[in-house]
Amino acid sequence: MTVTDSGIRTIDGIELTPKAVSLELPTPFATVEDERLHRKQKLAAALRIFGRVGFGEGVAGHITVRDPEFPELFWVNPFAVSFRHIRVSDLILVDHHGDVVYGTRPVNRAAFVIHSAVHQARPDVVAAA
């Protein structure tokens, strides 16, 4: 870095000037169904990333996301499905008692016990990993 006689800092001849950082919020969704699908797509993708970096199935790690219409419920991967293979259609919706309210597969008890406590304690949190 070089500082010119007039006090301007440069690197390789490029002037360094402070710029405002814009942290734009996501565009609001047209419907709650659109937001639900978006959250489920991100959850399935995140679980596949977990699978690629060595997490598997079981107690290796979990990710959950709160439902946008029913915030007392959360989406999670089902028991005995490898994280590497999770699809949106595999996800199940679970309540804070561990009951599957949408889907036909069983819930992983480790995911439920830990994540239901997080979601109950922090209603402002949308997702937990």
Calculate the average pLDDT of the chain: 87
pTM here is 0.77
Q: Which two tokens stand for residue 114?
A: 């830990």
Query: Helix or strand or coil: residue 37?
Result: helix
- 6 class by beta-carbon count within 10 Å (0-12 exposed, 13-18 middle, 19+ buried): exposed
Q: Indicate whether 58 pLDDT > 60.
A: no
Residues facing residue 102 across a β-bridge = 93
Gap between the terminal Cα atoms of the chain? 40
Residues facing residue 9 across a β-bridge = 3
As a whole number, mean pLDDT of residues 58-70 equals 84
Percentage of the chain beyond pLDDT 90 is 49
Give the angle subtended at the CA of 56 by the CAs of 70 and 39, to the nearest 5°: 25
Encode pLDDT of 77-124 as tens digits. 998 888 999 999 999 999 988 899 999 999 888 778 888 899 889 999
As a whole number, mean pLDDT of residues 10-38 equals 84
DSSP secondary structure code for residue 52 in this structure? H
